């Protein structure tokens, strides 16, 4: 494995921002879609699955500029983040912290799993796992264990992406077999360490916020570099943060976030190209 693309979480606006970056970087001659490995967490799992489907990058970007009939608006602002932080920060044991967040998610009143699954299905142009390597992250809501799904996991792509996007307290945990799963961002908003072994790593991180015993992105990047990898991290600049706004689950901000990501690509293209080769 030589090149890895890591796509972090960040709600529907994170999906849009990542597609803006991917479209802009492609136009600058940096085809991140050619990655040997794609790691997707939460919003990044959606983008990763879409990217691996073979759908043209510019087409996926253009879709973010149009109103969506399938996306459902929800609130996920500072108060919701504080609730998660409080649930997960009362112990230094990362697995226990995630189990507490999972317990909160299991007890929360949310839309039905069926209605949420329909949203996830509408996001995926292809329902089968791609042939090229894709990792999708989630957390077992009961045990707090971190889980990585791939084509060999025996889990459908829709269920894997749905689990990775199951924001605790907002969307229902996803049932797979006799277990239920929540957002992979509850372990790390990016999970860049899963790119270990790659020589070139590009990380698109709509958010790097971490709380309690969560592994920090900076530490993950340091470890990758210690293994000999060249790594570049792109996070929203001031204009992108303004376009994304305070509620990352607001579909009304998709187009603005996508355009901001596309504009930011003009600024970071040289730096990303230097790593990607």
Query: How far is Cα 141 from Cα 179, in angstroms, rounded to an integer?
Result: 8
- For 267, list phi and psi in degrees, rounded to 5: -80, -40
Q: Which domains does the chain have, with CATH numbers?
A: 3-73+110-264 (3.40.1090.10)
Q: Which of 140, 183, 193, 250 is catalytic?
A: 183
Average pLDDT over all residues of the chain: 94
Give SS3 for 234.
strand
Q: What pLDDT does 98 receive?
A: 94
Parallel, antiparallel, or unpaired: how do β-strands 133-140 and 37-40 relate? parallel
Q: What pLDDT does 58 receive?
A: 97
Parallel, antiparallel, or unpaired: how do β-strands 200-204 and 230-234 relate? parallel
Nearest to 166 by CA among 182, 155, 150: 182
Annotated active-site residue 60? The verdict is: no
Parallel, antiparallel, or unpaired: how do β-strands 3-7 and 133-140 relate? unpaired
Query: How far is Cα 203 from Cα 18, in angstroms, rounded to an integer?
Result: 10
Nearest to 14 by CA among 265, 268, 247: 247
- For 191, list phi and psi in degrees, rounded to 5: 55, 45
% the chain with pLDDT above 90: 87
Q: Any alpha helices (H) in the chain, and if so which ranges? A: 11-27, 43-52, 57-64, 78-88, 94-107, 113-123, 157-164, 217-226, 238-244, 254-276
Taking 70 as the threshold, does the pLDDT of residue 87 lie above it? no
Name the token pair of 274: 């230097």
- In terms of pLDDT, which residue wins out, 165 or 77? 165
Taking 90 as the threshold, does the pLDDT of residue 5 lie above it? yes
Q: What pLDDT does 79 receive?
A: 63
Taking 90 as the threshold, does the pLDDT of residue 137 lie above it? yes
Q: Where are the beta strands (DSSP E) in the chain?
A: 3-7, 37-40, 133-140, 146-149, 174-176, 179-183, 200-204, 230-234
Residue pLDDT, tens place only, 113-135:
999 999 999 999 999 999 999 99
Q: What pLDDT does 68 receive?
A: 86
Residue pLDDT, tens place only, 217-259:
999 999 999 999 999 999 999 999 999 999 999 999 999 999 9
Taking 80 as the threshold, does the pLDDT of residue 86 lie above it? no
What lies within 8 Å, CB to CB, of 239 at 6+ separation is 260, 263, 264
| CA distances for 167 relative to 43, 54, 64, 97, 121, angstroms | 10, 27, 21, 15, 17
- In terms of pLDDT, which residue wins out, 123 or 1? 123
Nearest to 68 by CA among 11, 115, 122: 122
Annotated active-site residue 42? The verdict is: yes
* pLDDT classification of 183: cutoffs 50, 70, 90: very high
Q: What pLDDT does 78 receive?
A: 66
């Amino acid at each position: 494995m030589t090149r890895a693309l890591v796509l972090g979480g960040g709600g529907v606006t994170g999906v849009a921002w990542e597609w803006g970056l991917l479209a802009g970087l492609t136009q600058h001659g940096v085809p991140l879609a050619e990655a040997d490995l794609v790691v997707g967490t939460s919003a990044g799992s959606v983008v990763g699955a879409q990217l691996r489907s073979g759908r043209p990058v510019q087409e996926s970007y253009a879709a973010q500029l149009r109103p969506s009939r399938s996306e459902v608006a929800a609130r996920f602002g500072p108060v919701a983040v504080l609730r998660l932080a409080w649930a997960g920060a009362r112990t230094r044991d990362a697995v226990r912290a995630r189990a507490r967040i999972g317990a909160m998610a299991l007890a929360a009143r949310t839309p039905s799993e069926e209605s949420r699954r329909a949203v996830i299905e509408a996001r995926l142009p292809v329902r089968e796992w791609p042939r090229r390597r894709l990792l999708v992250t989630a957390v077992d809501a009961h045990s707090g264990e971190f889980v990585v799904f791939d084509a060999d996991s025996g889990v459908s792509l829709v269920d894997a992406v749905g689990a990775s996007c199951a924001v605790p307290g907002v969307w229902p945990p996803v049932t797979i077999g006799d277990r239920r799963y929540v957002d992979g961002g509850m372990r790390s908003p990016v999970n860049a360490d899963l790119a270990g072994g790659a020589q070139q790593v590009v990380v698109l991180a709509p958010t790097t916020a971490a709380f309690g015993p969560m592994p920090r992105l900076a530490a993950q990047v340091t470890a990758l570099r210690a293994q000999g990898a060249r790594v570049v991290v792109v996070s929203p600049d001031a204009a992108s943060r303004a376009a994304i706004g305070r509620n990352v689950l607001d579909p009304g901000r998709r187009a603005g976030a996508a355009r901001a990501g596309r504009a930011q690509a003009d600024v970071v293209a040289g730096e990303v190209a230097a790593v990607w080769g």
